[in-house]
Amino acid sequence: MQLECFELEVSGKTALLELARPEQLNVLDERALSELELVLEHLQERGVKAVVLTGQGRAFAAGADVKAMAEMDPGSARAFSLKGNEVFLQLEKHPAIFVAAVNGYALGGGMELALACDLRLASSRAVFAQPEIGLGIIPGFGGTQRLPRLIGPARAKEWILTGKRYTAQEALEAGLVMEVVESEELLAKAQTLAAELAAKSGPILALAKRAVQAGTELAAANISLEAGLFGECFTHRDALEGLRAFVERREPDFQDR
């Protein structure tokens, strides 16, 4: 399997999956989403029971491709949102247990990728945010749905409506991550956890995962709603202004239209 955006190492019933675009801060674009879809299928074929997901370099994943989004119209934006949601749902429903080892920036779509994982460990240097509001858009890969289920609606509104960045310790206090460790210890800690999980029954792990998720299942209607609202952002002048301002490295001039 030829991969450009990821590196995958399978060892027995565990795997290490790394976003491998450090020079781009592991941006999530159409290519990355399509590759992730292929990897998920491959992991299931190999019978992998636990996967550590992390990013190379300074970022876990610093979000979706803003340059590409700045050229989108409402229809293509909605399609992009649906694609990301579809792939992240596949990850969430995958029989393997995914451990996100958040080593640095987990912003926007990158944070949404971590939210779709089953367990999250964070480096003390990790930074979390849903900064889309500052770009004139909203989260489009499930963030409006998963974040409230994990940290509660009131706190999720704070994170999404302010777009603020939060430290690993603040993410721990919010209940988003299960533990914060030093950077040099993160990968070993995550791999130890994956090995502990893989020592258990694969089918029973998958059933337990399904049982827990049943109470917090993402309704297809809600995912479709998020994608539709994400697309609707692009009918507003402010969305394109916010995205282009980011690409041009300037402050956006929002005019409420």
**Rounded-to-integer distance, Cα 128 and Cα 62, Å:** 9
The sign one gets for the Cα dihedral 206, 216, 28, 188 is negative
Backbone dihedral angles phi then psi of residue 177, each to the nearest 5 degrees: -120, 155
Q: Which of 35, 92, 132, 241 is catalytic?
A: 132
For tokens 């916010």, name the residue.
Answer: 242
Q: Which of 35, 112, 226, 241 is catalytic?
A: 112
> 46-73: string of b/e by CB count within 10 Å (b at 16+)?
eebbbbbbbbbbebbbbbbbbeebbebe
Q: Is 132 a catalytic residue?
A: yes
Q: Do the strands 127-129 and 97-102 form a parallel or antiparallel pair, or are they unpaired?
A: unpaired
Q: Is 112 a catalytic residue?
A: yes
**Rounded-to-integer distance, Cα 255 and Cα 131, Å:** 19
**Rounded-to-integer distance, Cα 196 and Cα 233, Å:** 44
* Catalytically annotated residues: 112, 132
